[in-house]
Amino acid sequence: MKSTVKLLGILMLLAGVILAGCGKSSTNQTGGKDTAAAGKKTLRVVTDAAYAPFEYMKGDKIVGFDVDFIQAVVKEAGYKAEVVHVGWDPLFVELENKRADLGISSITINDERKQTYDFSHPYFLSTNKILVPKNSPVTSAEDLKNKVVAVQNGTTGQEAVEKMFGKNNKNLKKFENNNLAIMELNSGGAAAVVADNAVVEVYAKNNPEKKLKVIEDSKNFAIEFYGLAFPKGSKLRPELDKAVEKVLKNGTYEKIYKKWFGRMPDINKLKEQQ
Ligand code: ARG
């Protein structure tokens, strides 16, 4: 009798160990979790949620165009997504170390980044613009010469200004996120912010008391396209690219765009890039 109980005990222990092992294997190498019950994997999506209206904090929730877009894309592909705010520089570190499945953060697709990450089809058309006080004499990027310009570190905004006035030029103030760059402008510590058009336009419009205006310079600031960024060699990318195509085609993209920008997007420009 006693030995049967003992044996039973050992068997139960063993079962416990085996079950525990199974539990561990449900976390994949890229950090996402398998939700076996729902039959869907939850993807770990990293972002820098300080870039309204694309990704920003509303209370303790991350909201924005990018968030709605990625939720639509992963749903189309049969996944779930957990969008996590990690910050701009850390986002790229996570992708490089394959700790995240993908990043969405208004990330411009460019040759330099393509060497380290894989990108989806372009999903958003953008360009840098200049945010200045309403009474500023600045009318083009050239006018920023010898003026203090605030940018988010490691962005194409920084690159665009450096291209004009040289790397390490002492008038360039670099910040960890774009909100800090705008704060610097508002407190008089900078004469301008250079960042993505939709971001500065929405900010100027939603904060009229700050008395800001946006200057366009299509001669000096190139057209850019945002993409989803993946670790190099990601097997998920081709899968999600199909979903991106669908979302662009079936009206979902237009709906999300309209919700955030109040008008219809130029989808053909995006499709041309596929
Ligand atoms: N589009 C620019 C770039 O890729 C800026 C993106 C910044 N995104 C953000 N969430 N702060 O460099």
CATH architecture of structural domain 33-125+224-272: 3-Layer(aba) Sandwich (3.40)
Pocket test for ligand 1, best of 55, 57, 84, 107 (most atoms within 8 A of CB): 107
Instruction: Identify the CATH homologous superfamily for domain 128-215.
Output: Periplasmic binding protein-like II (3.40.190.10)
Averaged pLDDT for residues 184-211: 98
| CA separation for the pair 242, 225 (Å, rounded) | 18
Q: Give the pLDDT of residue 168.
A: 81
Averaged pLDDT for residues 22-49: 63
Which residue bears the tokens 């986002």?
91
Averaged pLDDT for residues 246-274: 94
Compute the distance from residue 51 Cα to the ligand 1 centre, in Å: 8
Compute the distance from residue 87 Cα to the ligand 1 centre, in Å: 11
Per-residue pLDDT of 230-255, as tens digits, reads 999 999 999 999 999 999 999 999 99
Q: Give the pLDDT of residue 96.
A: 98
Asked if residue 34 has pLDDT above 90, the reply is: no
158 Cβ below 6 A of ligand 1: no
Separation in Å, CA 144 to CA 100, 149, 155: 38, 7, 18
Q: Give the pLDDT of residue 271.
A: 84
**Domain 33-125+224-272 matches domain 128-215 at the CATH topology level:** yes
Per-residue pLDDT of 105-157, as tens digits, reads 999 999 999 999 999 999 999 999 999 999 999 999 999 999 999 999 999 99
Which tokens belong to 269? Answer: 């420009």
Per-residue pLDDT of 72-104, as tens digits, reads 999 999 999 999 999 999 999 999 999 999 999
Which residue type, as a one-letter code, is found at position 118? D
17 contacts: CB under 8 Å, gap ≥ 6? none
Spatial CA neighbour of 197 closest among 165, 156, 236: 156
Q: Give the pLDDT of residue 27.
A: 41
Asked if residue 53 has pLDDT above 80, the reply is: yes
Confidence bin at 6 (pLDDT 50/70/90): low
pLDDT, mean over the chain: 90
Pocket test for ligand 1, best of 108, 124, 177, 226 (most atoms within 8 A of CB): 108
Spatial CA neighbour of 43 closest among 95, 89, 110, 88: 95
Confidence bin at 269 (pLDDT 50/70/90): confident
Compute the distance from residue 195 Cα to the ligand 1 centre, in Å: 8
Over pLDDT 70: what percentage of the chain? Answer: 86
49 CA closest ligand 1 atom index: 10
Q: Check if the beta carbon of residue 107 is closer than 8 Å to that of residue 227.
A: yes
Which tokens belong to 45? Answer: 């999506």
Over pLDDT 90: what percentage of the chain? Answer: 81
Compute the distance from residue 107 Cα to the ligand 1 centre, in Å: 5
Asked if residue 21 has pLDDT above 50, the reply is: no
Q: Give the pLDDT of residue 15.
A: 53
Q: Give the pLDDT of residue 45.
A: 98
The model carries a pTM of 0.87
* Domain regions of the chain by residue span: 33-125+224-272, 128-215
Spatial CA neighbour of 206 closest among 261, 144, 255: 261
End-to-end alpha carbon distance in the chain: 72
